[in-house]
Structure 1
């Protein structure tokens, strides 16, 4: 009798990698399939945000807090497993959120107060002290909140380390393999996935296809409303240490929560260990249109300079964009699909996938293996109205 994986994970981005890793830790045999190289799509297009500062009290914030607590120990375990092969950039740098108008000040402080009520470390600081945290910040600050829990993770390195650990435990990672659907047995249960390399038998399949999850779910016979939402990041020339935290304008929270299809931009600025400054962020529902629009680049640059005037004369070396998996109700999808037994989903994280990956992988593995979940999985169910009605 041939040996086949218990689970096939479709998608080798950070979410698929985190699910595969958690499953192999639990003793499940796993094969990860991706039509491209690992971490080469949405994961490679992100800034690496690990944020609690941008989420209102509720299930996504609960997932974010659990993931933020999980990432350091997960990284340590990867380093123990992989030794010198675990090249991971983790910066517990904290975040600074600022309002730059009088109208934005009170909503920012009220948002932070609501987060504090559920245990988030959100420290209101006097506007005049904001430059103690960031000396090059604009003087137009009207309110500021410091979030020590916010962090930064290099997403491609993290995903590749997770997948390397999957291989160390006997799992398989295959690139250049396109999955076109699933086959089921007489009872309707998943028995295999159909791929460009032939059929791969399995007991379960996890849809971790990111922005392409809607298409895969439809091919699997259980459509869900996951859509692509495009984002752009600017990368400057390398600078000496200039920006200490992840810094963003208070309007970023509104852009994250909005379902508007039109272009939305807000200023998010941070340094990297190598020296370049990353400038975001934009959100735009334009399908899979992949060309860079000058108006978006110009708007990102304008808002970054408004936040940090020192950037006015710093050259932008390149820009990159990618697609994020958008769910209409702004909640990830984590768990089994009751319409097709053996089909599971881990998607819909939009721009928060890096930060949410650690807890997402753990929660999915707990559910699939029957372990006690560390979070209530109910809000992330696939059969919720927002996903079913719009599919």
Structure 2
């Protein structure tokens, strides 16, 4: 059997999206996954599809990817458990309302539909929020999916075009075109795409990605409790912190009527066990915004590891010092949101195509330790 043009390590949402994009361009693709498609951080995440605007590069990638998501789910939203519920960024006080207005100006300047909500309009939309909040910003185009299903759909599309999915644990990389599995099997491809999330740094020592542990909880069914994804404006500080443990208010109304509760961030641990103190802290914080949440039944709690880069942007493109090795990792909490744009940007670079946005802000070469690796 001839070697694949591309060998992808990892079949989470990023690896599956890359397999879909590359196979659609006629490349022969093989994907190696140690568990099942859509496991790992993909299965642990909340599935929030959100435009983030903390910097121009983040805004460009997330906005483009949401356009791709809407095209992807069109006509079959039920298969993805998709809902265009919108996001309300909740402002606790006048200072956060000022931040919401700045956010609204940025979104509007980029053609993204949004509207400011004063306190009255906020409570008309979300009466379960605690009294005394100042208002918020509604971003209409945001949505949600069930990520493992979407990853499976992406992978199935690639397989239908001839892609292969292999089960195995990659122990280490061999140059830029080979991997060695735990059972000693050697696999080769014309190029390697490392899309193994937080595990990527274990396979590539010079990769500046560290894990951020997060907790999620899900309730019993309470249809209509909330209608939008609710996120406090303070979430941004938590999401981009470089150290220390933090929690932020983040609630999601699942199509099942259940409520997903987040979010937390912890550094310096890869232990998958639920940290009960952190979970309790996160739930208390959520109930401080929606008091009735305290009386709900939580059915399950779990954790996941986000792959975080030092500058908060994903790492997408060729390794600057290892020819043949390509990277698609470091997405932190935006892996689901930006997966489709990541795959298109990677494929465009590989095949020297033009893309909707410049690749420069996401290239691995922006990190000096990668440029000097193996020199």
Q: TM-score range by the shorter chain?
A: over 0.9
Other-structure match for 2:4: 5
Cα offset, 1:283, TM superposition: 0.8
User: Are 2:204 and 1:205 equivalent residues in the alignment?
Assistant: no
- 2:53 and 2:106 in contact (8 A); partners too: no
Give ranges in structure 2 of 5+ residues lacking alignment. Answer: none
User: Are 2:269 and 1:269 equivalent residues in the alignment?
Assistant: no
TM-score, length of structure 2 as denominator length: 0.94
1:320 to 296, 302, 315: 302
- 1:268 and 1:280 in contact (8 A); partners too: yes
Pair 191,95 (structure 1): closer, same or farther in 2 beyond 3 Å: closer
- 2:319 and 2:370 in contact (8 A); partners too: no
Q: Structure 1, residues 269-321: CA drift from partner, whole Å, max 9, x if none? A: 12111121101000111231222122211122112212212212111111111
Give ranges in structure 1 of 5+ residues lacking alignment. Answer: 185-189
User: Are 2:161 and 1:169 equivalent residues in the alignment?
Assistant: yes
2:207 to 221, 224, 230: 224
Other-structure match for 1:385: 367
Aligned equivalents of 1:390, 1:289: Cα separation in 2 = 31
Aligned equivalents of 1:115, 1:88: Cα separation in 2 = 26
User: Are 2:168 and 1:193 equivalent residues in the alignment?
Assistant: no
Q: Secondary structure at the match of 1:237?
A: strand
Other-structure match for 1:69: 67
Higher mean alpha-carbon deviation, 43-52 vs 248-257, is at 248-257
Other-structure match for 2:93: 101
Aligned equivalents of 1:372, 1:383: Cα separation in 2 = 19
Aligned equivalents of 2:370, 2:95: Cα separation in 1 = 37
Pair 369,307 (structure 1): closer, same or farther in 2 beyond 3 Å: same
Other-structure match for 1:22: 21
Other-structure match for 2:237: 254
TM-score, length of structure 1 as denominator length: 0.90
Q: Secondary structure at the match of 1:319?
A: strand
Aligned equivalents of 1:371, 1:162: Cα separation in 2 = 21
Aligned equivalents of 2:49, 2:321: Cα separation in 1 = 33
User: Are 2:181 and 1:183 equivalent residues in the alignment?
Assistant: no
Q: Tell me the C-alpha RMSD between the 2 structures.
A: 2.0
